[in-house]
Amino acid sequence: MNLRQGKDNTIDVNLTPLIDVVFLLLIFFMVSTTFKKESEISIDLPEAATEKTEKAKEAIEITIDQAGKYYVNQQEVINTSADTLKGAIQKVLGDRKDPPLIISADAKTPHQAVITAMDAARQLGLVHLTFATKKPEADPD
């Protein structure tokens, strides 16, 4: 640290090196930090002993979490009303005619939430319905 005495015997501290270091640290953290917010809906799928099928690209996916909240193609629906869910599905559906619908519900989702999703899809004329499951783990006998 450079200390200089002026004409009136005051100590003068040179802050230029400190400011340089602070700016270098700021630039380092700005460059090395990622600002991408990654969030996924956390659900625990029920188990089934069927083979895995490939997800169609044009499929509409309704995800229902443990609390019964709906997500249509990873976009949260503002409430759990059947009319709101129908509106969200209709928005994603657009002009497409009868695309496949995949319902991914958490294993602890209330049954009523799944029935509401199925009913909303039926009212919109969607009849190709699939439930997402996971394959049970093998017993370590």
**Predicted pLDDT at 127:** 82
Coil, strand or helix: which one is 96? coil
In angstroms, the CA 100 to CA 77 distance is 19
DSSP letters spanning 65-78 = -TT--EEETTEE-S
Quote the DSSP letter at residue 138. Answer: P
Residue ranges per structural domain of the chain: 3-32, 60-131
* pLDDT value for 132: 82
> Cβ atoms within 10 A of the Cβ of 102, count?
19
Q: Could you identify the residue written with the tokens 């909240």? A: 69
Is 88:126 a contact under the CB 8 Å cutoff?
Answer: no
Q: What is the token pair recorded at 98?
A: 């009868």
Q: Which CATH number describes the domain made up of 60-131?
A: 3.30.420.270
pLDDT of 87 higher than 70: yes
For the ranges 6-10, 11-15, 85-89, the lowest mean pLDDT is seen at 6-10
* Averaged pLDDT score across all residues of the chain: 80
Q: Summarize pLDDT for 17-63 with one digit per residue, the tens.
A: 999 999 999 999 888 887 665 556 666 666 666 655 555 568 889 99
pTM, two decimals, is: 0.59
Q: In what order do the strands lie in the sheet with 70-72?
A: 75-76, 70-72, 60-64, 101-105, 129-131
